[in-house]
Amino acid sequence: MLKIALSQQNYHIGNFAANTAKMIQAIRQAEEAGVDLLVFSELSICGYPPRDFLEFEDFIQQCYAGIEQLKKETARVGIIVGAPQRNRQKEGKDLFNAAWLLHEGEVKGVAQKTCLPTYDVFDEYRYFEPAYEWSVIPFKGKKIALTICEDIWALGDNPLYRIAPMDELVKLSPDLMINISASPFDYDHDEDRKEVVRANVLRYKLPMIYCNATGSQTEIVFDGGSLVYNAAGYLVKELKYFEEDFAVVTMNDEMYRTGGADVTLRTMDKEMRVSKINDPEKIIDFLTAGNNIEQIYRALVLGIKDYFSKMGFSKAILGSSGGIDSAVTLAIACEALGADQVRAVLMPSSFSSSHSVDDAVALSKNLGNPYDIIPIKTVYDAFLETLAPVFADAPFGIAEENIQSRSRGNLLMAIANKFGYILLNTSNKSELSTGYGTLYGDMAGGLGVLGDVYKMQVYALARYINRKNEIIPQNIIDKAPSAELRPNQKDSDSLPPYELLDKVLYQYIERHQGPQEIIDMGIDEPLVRRILKLVNTNEYKRNQFCPIIRVSAKAFGVGRRMPIVGKYLT
């Protein structure tokens, strides 16, 4: 009976030495456990997604050098590792996305990825040629059907791909399925992933080993959660989420037993990755569901932690306004980096309420992070004095509001430059969607922490952070949100109530619903058209924004590519 281990690891793109060292350490662990075959995740040699690094021959050579190094470690344990493979045919792309089976110092077999995702954050057909032939790989008396990530998603009545690799491989009578994956996290995806793995098991009546990546790569978070299902469709093993893990499973008779499991499957199609919520009253409940919020929290912590560690940074700075967004960002950053590594700067203006400063101070005292209070009145007045000949007697307006925000941005960046901090941006997805922010002011930053989190989810995160004791002062959660850039300002002066705004935004951004479809859900037509116009006319602002940690099925950034100059819905 085969003993198979899954090694769910956090790789660093292009860090070949660290990635191979990590895998060799897992090989030693597998040897001690008497494992026959050790499985790593997709493109584990180089890290996923390598993107345009794949266009450099030196990068590919280092991938091959990593394979050669790992081959020397396989005298006792076979390993399945992900790495690019050169396409020896002149026709087509120069590379395959491949899974390599190494054993006894040799390459025993290679499987190429067939289904190359080209949507959202994926752009694999830019670099890779799809597989055009399929074969099982023999290993210690078993025939392995080896596939890569998206290859197992070609199921259902309306699949995204014309070819399902397992339909070809099953003709060769394999004994088990192994899928190596780099499947990104979003709060609406883990159950879909389980359902797809189980659907493959039930369809082909074979057990499946599914090894996923974990860790964060710039904006994309990989949550792990590797899976083992037996041939009956029962979950045998599930690895940890948002952290590295190692597990061993024995391919005994129980793994091959069929029948007895519930064979009912959810409807599967090319859009199954997004919840199909047509009732607007249920959207907020879904967005703020407890399990979703816990996962979002863990993803954001991991996103910050890996961004800093992999970039060689250690210290963060942010503007602490006494509002909900900066409070949640500060609490998450302290969890990720340690409170002593996160500096909060309070920058009150003449329009700031006294309780905002008090609340921000109380928050930092609760968290134990260093903070400074730097009033911006002198800086703001200097701008107005300098601009007075140009502004003449024009009334107070958006220019004066934005000068305050940009003054704060300048102060934050000055401190960051002086002492080696990275500025964390605190803008949420509702604000970024509608352009409710100041370029080069409160939209400045090196990493967007809440940019894929709707405002109602920010409140839910605050409640989650306070689940055991009050870290975020209750007044921050209870008070009406305000930018405090003019007297008695409230967000509701410029935007619809967030409870309503987020319902429309989710349908438009995540579900790609058009205006009439959203109106037909019972939402006021002028409001819908106003919101969608705000989203589309502010694309130019988002185009200049920093990387955003992705937690939803459709985040702003590389996964959402909209024209800046366009007439649609503007």
81: Cβ–Cβ under 8 A, 6 or more apart, which residues? 23, 40, 44, 45, 67, 70, 99, 100, 102
Mean pLDDT over all residues of the chain? Answer: 95
**Residue 300 reports pLDDT greater than 80:** yes
Please tell me the least confidently modeled range out of 163-177, 265-279, 365-379, 387-401.
265-279
CA distance 146 to 134: 9
Q: Average pLDDT for residues 89-99, to the nearest whole number? A: 96
Q: Average pLDDT for residues 390-400, to the nearest whole number? A: 93
Q: Average pLDDT for residues 544-556, to the nearest whole number? A: 97
Percentage of residues in the chain having pLDDT higher than 70: 99
pLDDT of residue 126: 97
Residue 194 lies in a domain: yes
Q: How many residues does the chain have?
A: 570
Long-range contacts of 307-312 (CB under 8 A, 24+ apart): 307/216, 307/218, 307/447, 307/547, 307/549, 308/336, 308/337, 308/422, 310/12, 310/15, 310/217, 311/422
pLDDT of residue 329: 98
In a shared domain, residues 234 and 349:
no
3-state helix, strand, coil in the chain (%, to 5): 40, 20, 40
Whether 101 and 137 have beta carbons less than 8 Å apart is answered as: yes
Residue 163 lies in a domain: yes
Ranges assigned E (strand) in 156-290: 176-181, 208-212, 214-217, 220-223, 227-229, 235-238, 245-250
pLDDT of residue 268: 75
pLDDT of residue 71: 98
Residue 496 lies in a domain: no
pLDDT of residue 65: 98
Rounded (5°) CA angle 395-497-542: 70
In a shared domain, residues 137 and 220:
yes
Q: Of 425, 506, 15, 434, which is closest to residue 219 (Cα–Cα)? A: 425
Kindly report, residue by residue over 189-217, the tens digit of the pLDDT. 778 899 999 999 999 999 999 999 999 99
**Residue 352 reports pLDDT greater than 80:** no
In a shared domain, residues 392 and 461:
yes
Kindly report, residue by residue over 309-318, the tens digit of the pLDDT. 999 999 999 9
Residue 361 lies in a domain: yes
In a shared domain, residues 216 and 309:
no
Q: How many helices (H) and strands (E) does the chain have?
A: 18, 19
In a shared domain, residues 340 and 195:
no
Domain count, the chain: 2
In a shared domain, residues 188 and 98:
yes
Kindly report, residue by residue over 204-257, the tens digit of the pLDDT. 999 999 999 999 999 999 999 999 999 999 999 999 999 999 999 999 989 998
In a shared domain, residues 235 and 163:
yes
In a shared domain, residues 388 and 326:
yes
Which amino acid is it at 475?
N
Residue 414 lies in a domain: yes
Q: Of 73, 86, 312, 121, which is closest to residue 220 (Cα–Cα)? A: 121
In a shared domain, residues 247 and 293:
no
Kindly report, residue by residue over 74-91, the tens digit of the pLDDT. 999 999 999 999 999 999
Encoded tokens for 429: 């997805």
Question: Can the peptide bond before residue 49 be classed as cis, meaning omega within 30 degrees of 0?
Answer: yes
Residue 516 lies in a domain: no
Encoded tokens for 566: 């366009």
CA distance 227 to 496: 43
Encoded tokens for 278: 């047509």
Burial class (CB in 10 A: 0-12, 13-18, 19+), 358: middle
DSSP state, 158?
B
**Residue 46 reports pLDDT greater than 90:** yes
**Residue 23 reports pLDDT greater than 90:** yes
Rounded (5°) CA angle 361-365-366: 115
Q: Tell which of 456, 471, 490 closes a domain.
A: 490
The helix (run of H) or strand (run of E) holding residue 34 is: none
**Residue 92 reports pLDDT greater than 90:** yes
Q: Which of the four pLDDT bands, split at 50, 70 and 90, describes residue 570?
A: confident
Residue 268 lies in a domain: no
Kindly report, residue by residue over 433-488, the tens digit of the pLDDT. 999 999 999 999 999 999 999 999 999 999 999 999 999 999 999 998 877 777 87
Residue 515 lies in a domain: no
Residue 39, φ and ψ in degrees, nearest 5: -115, 125
Strands 176-181 and 208-212: parallel
Residues annotated as catalytic (active site), given as ranges = 42, 113, 149
Domain that holds residue 407: 289-490
- Sign of the dihedral through C-alpha 456, 457, 462, 468: positive
pTM of the model: 0.96
In a shared domain, residues 56 and 111:
yes
pLDDT of residue 55: 98
Encoded tokens for 461: 């995160």
In a shared domain, residues 449 and 358:
yes
Kindly report, residue by residue over 149-201, the tens digit of the pLDDT. 999 999 887 788 999 999 999 999 999 999 999 999 999 877 889 999 999 99
Whether 31 and 251 have beta carbons less than 8 Å apart is answered as: no
Q: Which of the four pLDDT bands, split at 50, 70 and 90, describes residue 502?
A: very high
**Cβ burial 433-443 (10 Å sphere, 16+ → b, else e):** bbbbbbbebbb
In a shared domain, residues 230 and 298:
no
Q: Which of the four pLDDT bands, split at 50, 70 and 90, describes residue 325?
A: very high
Q: Average pLDDT for residues 386-405, to the nearest whole number? A: 94
